[in-house]
Amino acid sequence: MKKKITEFLDLGNQPLANSYIKRKDLSKKERKYRLIVCFNKDNKLVSIKKTFSSKDMFNNEYPYRSSTSKTMRVHLEKLAKKIKKTKPQKILEIGSNDGCFIKNFDKRKTIGIEPCANVEKITKKLKYNTYPEYWSPNLAKKILKKNNKVNVIFSSNTISHIKNLDDVFRAINIILDDKGIFIIEDPSLLECLKKNTYDQFYNEHIYVFSYLSLKNALKKHNLEIFKIEELKIHGGSNRYYIKKINNNIKFHNSVNYHKNKEIKYGLNHLNTYIKFAKRIKYSRNKLLSIFENCKKYNKKVIGYGATAKSVTILNYCNIDNTMINYFVDTTPDKQNKYTPGTKILIKKYSNLIDDKVDYVFLGAWNFKKEIFNKEKKYIKNGGKFIVHTPLPKII
Ligand code: JHZ
């Protein structure tokens, strides 16, 4: 029998993203794993080979806050406005984080699911009904004991983080009203391949979905995608609108439009992924040579946005604390800690001009527009950024 799953990209030994190191733990051995990306030619799923339990990744020390970026706040506010127009009785969000989305609704109308207790506390304090638990059929049943079925289920950048997709969709079927809709936003595999953003792969991103793969995973549970919105957020994401098969909501043209784009690009063929892997090797060498040159000429380089994504880049390309002086990041829970693997200090954001920076590595490249807007003065004064997408260069 021919192999169904093929490994096509090896991103080397990696620490767990989001496991920022405290100063006192700097000499402790970090947990590492081999980051290998695979393609399943049967169901078209692209996934990472070695996975960790949800408890290992999403716990009481989770540092990421959705609300730290204005782009994200505005993006979710706009969607909330759209949903409000449909007058739903109840909206449930899987992975509600610090409430960036649910805060746009009346407290009585929302249910948030957020397993990271330190983050869940934020919405609980504001009196939003949130469960500090992992999404599962049992949780769906538990919620249903106290509530009616829900009209809208939303999940942004969370479903791709859960290994057992069958359980995810079973739970959806339990609690979603037959006439309700399920909306998912996750990074687009098509955009990831087009932009060479291999940093979309790390331990939390178990899957990077295409329409072709997601449709197969949903079909087993009598769920189907009836509309797709291509979004700019997070470097290119898709918003999938999903319904129960028996719900006769009309299909939108966008489904076929997007499907054809994926097929035309070759997302259903292994060869496309093998070509992608070749580009990524080239990208690594190019980025490393930029950093080596900066080091050679004693340039001051800092990182902007200590993202989970940049953990993959820095560790894969061997860019360490001799090449990047420090990172700046607006997230309080990341500040005064060190980046996983590469041990680069993360500082509170400060003015790039006062810091006399030569080059800024854009870790949060997905918020380039927002950051370039903020850093107009630095740019006007000749300040330069180092980016890795679509290919490494100084801009
Ligand atoms: P950002 C996280 O990934 C983890 P990360 C997770 N797995 C996921 O899928 C995505 O989020 C959605 C900082 N920043 O959103 C804030 C500034 O300092 O790209 C954040 O630390 N100044 C759940 O970490 C980071 O950059 C700024 O002006 O890859 C952005 O992280 C801006 C705009 C951001 O996600």
> What are the structure tokens assigned to 333, written together?
């829970």
Distance 364 CA to ligand 1 centre (A): 6
Is the separation of the CB atoms in 197 and 188 below 8 Å? Answer: no
Ligand 1 atom having least distance to the Cα of 66: 15
CA angle 382, 332, 361 (to 5 degrees): 30
> What are the structure tokens assigned to 38, written together?
């695979």
Name the CA dihedral angle for 315, 319, 322, 324, rounded to a multiple of 10 degrees.
-100
Q: For 147-170, give the DSSP string.
A: SPPEEEEEEES-GGG-S-HHHHHH
Is the separation of the CB atoms in 141 and 173 below 8 Å? Answer: no
Ligand 1 atom having least distance to the Cα of 160: 9
Ligand 1 pocket list (CB less than 6 A): 64, 68-69, 157, 204, 234, 305-309, 329-331, 334, 349, 364, 366-367, 370-371, 374
Model-level pTM? 0.97
Is the separation of the CB atoms in 14 and 35 below 8 Å? Answer: yes
Rounded CA separation 111/224 (Å)? 23
Distance 272 CA to ligand 1 centre (A): 28
pLDDT in tens, the chain (395 residues): 667 999 999 999 999 999 999 999 999 999 999 999 999 999 999 999 999 999 999 999 999 999 999 999 999 999 999 999 999 999 999 999 999 999 999 999 999 999 999 999 999 999 999 999 999 999 999 999 999 999 999 999 999 999 999 999 999 999 999 999 999 999 999 999 999 999 999 999 999 999 999 999 999 999 999 999 999 999 999 999 999 999 999 999 999 999 999 999 999 999 999 999 999 999 999 999 999 999 999 999 999 999 999 999 999 999 999 999 999 999 999 999 999 999 999 999 988 877 789 999 999 999 999 999 999 999 999 999 999 999 999 99
Distance 359 CA to ligand 1 centre (A): 20
- Please provide residue 166's backbone torsions phi and psi, each rounded to the nearest 5 degrees: -60, -45
Nearest CA to ligand 1 atom 18: 329
Nearest CA to ligand 1 atom 13: 305
Distance 72 CA to ligand 1 centre (A): 10
Distance 332 CA to ligand 1 centre (A): 12
Q: Which residues contact 103 (CB under 8 A, 6 or more apart)?
A: 123, 126, 128
